[in-house]
Amino acid sequence: MSYVLGIDVSTTATKAVLVDENGRVAATAVGEYEFQMPRPLWSEQEPEVWWEAARTAIQGAMSIAGATGEDVVAVGLTGQMHGLVLLDSSHKVLRPAILWNDQRTSAECDEIHHRIGRERLIAITGNDALAGFTAPKILWVRNHEPALYGQVAQMLLPKDYVRFRLTEHYATDKAGAGGTILMDLAARDWSPEILAALEIDPALLPPTHEGPMTTGVITAAAATATGLATGTPVVAGAGDQAANAVGTGAVGQGVFALSLGTSGVVFVSTEQPRYDPQGRLHAFPHAIPDRWHLMGVMLSAAGSFRWFRDAFAPGRGYDELTGAAASIGPGAEGLTFLPYLTGERTPHPDPLARGAFVGLSVRHNLDHLTRAVLEGVAFGLKDILDLMTASGAEHPDQICASGGGIRSRLWRQILADVLGAEIAATTTPEGAAFGAAMLAAVSAGWHGDVEAAATAWVTIGEVTVPGIDVDHYRQLHGRYQRLYPALKPWFRDVGSDPDSVGRGGGDHDN
What DSSP string describes 419-464?
HTSEEEEE--SSHHHHHHHHHHHHHTTSSSSHHHHHHHH--EEEEE
- Claim to verify: residue 391 and residue 264 sit in the same structural domain: yes
The answer to the question of residue 448 being in a domain is: no
Residue 439 CA to residue 286 CA, distance in Å, equals 12
Q: Is residue 439 part of a domain?
A: no
Asked whether residue 381 falls in the same domain as residue 327, the answer is: yes
- 225 and 285: one domain? no
Helix (H, G, I), strand (E, B) or coil at 91: coil
Cα–Cα distance for residue pair 414/381, rounded to 1 Å: 11
What is the C-alpha to C-alpha distance for residues 469 and 472, in angstroms, rounded to an integer? 5
Q: Within 10 A of 508 (CB to CB), how many other CB atoms are there?
A: 7
End residue of a domain, out of 241, 265, 288: 241
- Residue 123 contacts by C-beta under 8 Å, 6 or more apart in sequence? 275
Tell me: do 192 and 163 sit in the same domain: yes
CATH number of domain containing 405: 3.30.420.40
70 occurs within a structural domain: yes
Whether residues 410 and 296 share a domain: the answer is yes
Parallel, antiparallel, or unpaired for β 3-9 and 13-20? antiparallel
pTM score of the predicted model: 0.89
* Domain endpoint, select from 221, 241, 261: 241
CA 80, CA 398: separation in Å to the nearest integer?
Answer: 27
HSE-up of 146 (CA within 13 Å, CB side)? 1
- Total structural domains in the chain? 2
Mean pLDDT by 10 residues, the chain (510 residues): 96 94 96 90 94 98 97 97 97 97 91 98 96 95 98 98 98 97 98 98 98 98 98 97 92 91 91 92 94 93 94 95 97 97 88 93 97 98 96 92 91 98 86 95 97 92 95 97 96 75 38
Whether residues 217 and 336 fall in one domain: no
Show which of 241, 260, 287 is a domain's final residue: 241
Is the distance from CB of 421 to CB of 396 less than 8 angstroms? yes
**Cα 435 → chain centroid:** 13
Q: Is cis: bond before 202, omega within 30 of 0?
A: no
Specify if 102 maps to a domain.
yes
**Selected catalytic residue, list 128, 173, 240, 276:** 240
The answer to whether residue 88 is catalytic is no
Parent domain of 125: 3-241
CA 162 → CA 9, 68, 141, 171, 196, distances in Å? 8, 20, 22, 11, 28
Same structural domain, 109 and 237: yes
Residue 444 lies inside a defined structural domain of this protein? no
Q: Are both 232 and 343 inside the same structural domain?
A: no
Using an 8 Å Cβ cutoff, are 6 and 419 in contact?
no
* Residue 441 maps to a domain: no
Sign of the dihedral defined by the CA atoms of residues 228, 233, 239, 240, in that order: negative
Within this chain, do residues 329 and 378 fall inside the same structural domain, yes or no?
yes
Is residue 388 in some structural domain? yes
pLDDT at position 440 is 98
DSSP letter (8 states) at residue 350:
B
Both 217 and 320 in one domain: the answer is no
Residue 274 contacts by C-beta under 8 Å, 6 or more apart in sequence?
Answer: 126, 283, 292, 294, 391, 392, 393
Q: Which helix (H) or strand (E) holds 308?
A: helix 302-312
How high is the pLDDT of residue 510?
32
Per-residue confidence (pLDDT) for residue 499, from 0 to 100: 62
Q: What is the pLDDT of residue 500?
A: 57
- Residue 450 covered by a domain: no
Q: By C-alpha distance, which of 350, 361, 347 is closest to 491? A: 350
Same domain, 209 and 315: no
- 319/336 same-domain check: yes
